[in-house]
Amino acid sequence: MSDPVQRPVHEPSQGSGGPAAATWQSKAAMIVPLLMFFVLAAAIDTSPVRDGETVNAQAYLISVIARVVAMSAMMLWFGKEIVRQFPLAIDRWGWIVGIVGAAIWIGVCSLDLERQLIEAVGLPDDWLPQREGVNPFATYQPGFELMGFLMVRFTLLAVCVPIAEELFLRGFVMRAFEAENWPALPLHEIGRNGLIVGTVYGIATHPAEFIAAALWFSLVSWLMVKTGKFWNCVIAHGVTNLILGIYVCLTGTWHLW
């Protein structure tokens, strides 16, 4: 792969939206949607208020709804800039990689490869962070309350998070590590530094599933370089998350939720 410093990043290419210098709008469009996710998750206290609870059910529902609304609003607000940088274009590879990625993530986590590796190198068993997932079937009343929660939770999981995280990671971070004028850098020309950063980001944000994360984020980066289509990455992310969410609900592996 050619050295990013020597690459003519000023030349427009598919998925770049044409040459343009980085502006506050181009930066905000890539960063703000995901920022809303973390800000609202931190701002709304979902700690349990009764013994035996894993979460404050109403506060958690409000947190999920607030994130869906805020993230959707920001993506719509910056929609023109997002589409300018990444014209709407997908093909079959996004769907294929999404399905394959889900199989990899579920398979690695089912085999508990991360814990096996930690034990093999002699680190203590509690080195991996533990996550307690929320069982919605035990937390919410059957009927409207449960169905309402599942609807917004899957919207967050399979729509809002894939778009926001791909905007931040592939739209901003990976390109910014490659070129000062990153909005003009086509995705398929992101070099080694950006690709490494993408995988490191995945591991850092999913420490309990670091092997699955390394494989999955590398796979989607391959898709990005192969097709150069941002929305293929979003489709792959959304399909993986949707399959993973269904798997979690069917098997009760709530720590993957």
Q: Percent of the chain having pLDDT more than 70?
A: 91
Phi-psi region of 100 (alpha: psi -120 to 50; beta: other; left: phi over 0): alpha
Structure tokens at 249: 């609900």
pLDDT of residue 166: 99
Closest CA to 67 of 131, 139, 161: 161
Q: Percent of the chain having pLDDT more than 90?
A: 78
Mean pLDDT of 196-213: 96
Flag whether pLDDT at 9 surpasses 60: no
Mean pLDDT of 178-200: 96
Classify residue 127 by its DSSP letter.
G
CA 162/CA 130 separation, integer angstroms: 23
Maximal C-alpha separation, the chain: 61
Tell the burial category of 257 from Cβ atoms under 10 Å away from its Cβ (0-12, 13-18, 19+): middle
**Per residue in 64-83, pLDDT tens?**
999 999 999 999 999 999 99
Are 238 and 159 in contact by the 8 Å Cβ rule? The answer is yes
Confidence of residue 158 (pLDDT cuts 50, 70, 90): very high
